[in-house]
Amino acid sequence: MNTNPIGIFDSGIGGLTVAKAIQKVLPNESFIYFGDTAHLPYGDKSPDSIRAYSNRIAELLVENKCKAIVIACNTASAHAYKTVVKSIPSHIPVINVVDPVAAYTAAHYQKGKVGVIGTKGTIQSRIYVKRIEKLNPNLKVLSNATPLLASMIEEGYYNNKISQSIIDSYLSKSSFKGIEALILGCTHYPLIKKEVEKFYQQKIEIIDSASVVAQAVSDVLKKKDILNTSKRKPKYSFWVSDYTESFEKSTAIFFNQKLKLVEKRIWKDERY
Ligand code: DGL
């Protein structure tokens, strides 16, 4: 048993969808959430920058006694997973959001086509294509970058006519014809799951990474025997690298309740 918190990070507050799912699956666990709002969005940043940001954040979480690290961002999972694993002590497990979803998809679909949408960074890395087609060579993975969606959601634009028409326009691309499932390859997208389902008229499965990842976190903690089995109330901390009232307000979108954000200026040598 280990009562230390889980460290969860994302480029901003979108990864709170993963934190929420972890809270549901592992209600005894405490966590520290870090949103790198000073560098948001990661989707357009270079892989080198994403690796540097992610390593520093993972180190900060380890300094604060986190017993496991969850990279709750697809873009950071695509570019920085390996370097994060190397930059922290080897006994601390690192869970990314891509591998559990790739494993789920490869196991649930024998052959045919599946689609994936995400940021430019995630899609250009071809991480989902590589991972899924390696696990199941009979599956073809088609991917499209949907860069407008994350900022649209952050501004509270979802479940309305404008968001539906942007989503419809992205999903109408002919390359997605005949897909049997669509992976929401960005931690912001659980918020638009209903609209994506509406586009496909509930005919295909929309794979939302939050619950699949939360289950993977639970499996890893169990396997490593570091679950928190104490009866004490868990503690949650929400840190960001650049505080604004608007970020704090938007937390309610992703966590179903407004959270108190604490600013941690960890990028001391850099101009914000
Ligand atoms: N939450 C990030 C992801 O899952 C997307 C937002 C961003 O571009 O920073 O990739």
- Kindly report, residue by residue over 214-248, the tens digit of the pLDDT: 999 999 999 999 999 998 999 999 999 999 998 89
User: What are the b/e assignments for 30-60, b being 16+ CB within 10 Å?
Assistant: bbbbbbbbbbbbbbebebeebbbbbbbbbeb
Q: Determine the average pLDDT of the residues in 6-10.
A: 98
The CATH code of domain 98-210 reads: 3.40.50.1860
Same-fold call for 6-96+211-263 versus 98-210: yes
Provide φ and ψ at 265, rounded to 5°: -85, 90
- Reported as a pLDDT band with limits 50, 70 and 90, residue 156 is confident
Ligand 1 pocket residue status of 127, Cβ below 6 Å: no
Percentage of the chain beyond pLDDT 70 is 99
Query: Which tokens in the block code for residue 118?
Result: 């995400």
93: CA distance to ligand 1 center in Å?
22
pLDDT of residue 31: 97
Percentage of the chain beyond pLDDT 90 is 90
pLDDT of residue 270: 56
Q: What's the pLDDT tens digit per position in 65-84?
A: 999 999 999 999 999 999 99
pLDDT of residue 272: 47
Nearest 5°: CA angle at 13, between 89 and 250?
160
Q: Is pLDDT at 151 greater than 60 in this prediction? A: yes
Q: Determine the average pLDDT of the residues in 6-22.
A: 96
73 noted as active-site residue = yes
Ligand 1 pocket residue status of 42, Cβ below 6 Å: yes
Provide φ and ψ at 68, rounded to 5°: -155, 150
Q: Whose CA is nearest to atom 8 of ligand 1?
A: 43
Higher pLDDT, 36 or 271: 36
Residue with tokens 């912001």: 188
The CATH architecture to which 6-96+211-263 belongs is: 3-Layer(aba) Sandwich (3.40)
Q: Is pLDDT at 269 greater than 70 in this prediction? A: no
State which ligand 1 atom lies nearest to the alpha carbon of 186. Answer: 4
66 noted as active-site residue = no
- Nearest Cα neighbor of 37 from 53, 21, 23, 51 is 53
Predicted TM-score (pTM) of the model is 0.95
State which ligand 1 atom lies nearest to the alpha carbon of 72. Answer: 4
Domain range annotation of the chain: 6-96+211-263, 98-210
